Amino acid sequence: MSLLLESYRKYPYFCGRVMQKVTNPIVWLSRFRHRCGYGVHSPFAFRFITDVIYERHPYYAYRELDRELPLSMRLRQRKGFHLLLRLANHLQPEIIVLPRDAWWEKRYLLSGCCSANIQCQWPVGEVSMCLLREPSDEALNHLGQNSVLLLDNLHRHRQWFRDLPSVISFDLYDLGIAFFDPQYNKQYYIVNF
Strands in 168-171's sheet, in edge-to-edge order, are 117-119, 95-97, 127-132, 143-152, 175-179, 168-171, 187-190
Enter the pTM of the model: 0.78
Identify the residue with better confidence: 126 or 41. Answer: 126
Cβ–Cβ < 8 Å for 150, 172? no
| CATH-assigned architecture of domain 37-190 | 3-Layer(aba) Sandwich (3.40)
* Domain assignments of the chain as residue spans, ordered by start: 1-30, 37-190
- Give per-residue burial for 37-67: e unless 16+ CB within 10 Å, then b: beebeeeebbebbeebbbeeeeeebbeebee
63, 85 Cβ separation under 8 angstroms: no
Report the C-alpha gap between 110 and 99 in whole angstroms.
15
Give the pLDDT score at 90.
94
pLDDT tens digits, 43-88: 888 899 888 998 888 888 888 988 888 887 776 688 889 999 999 9
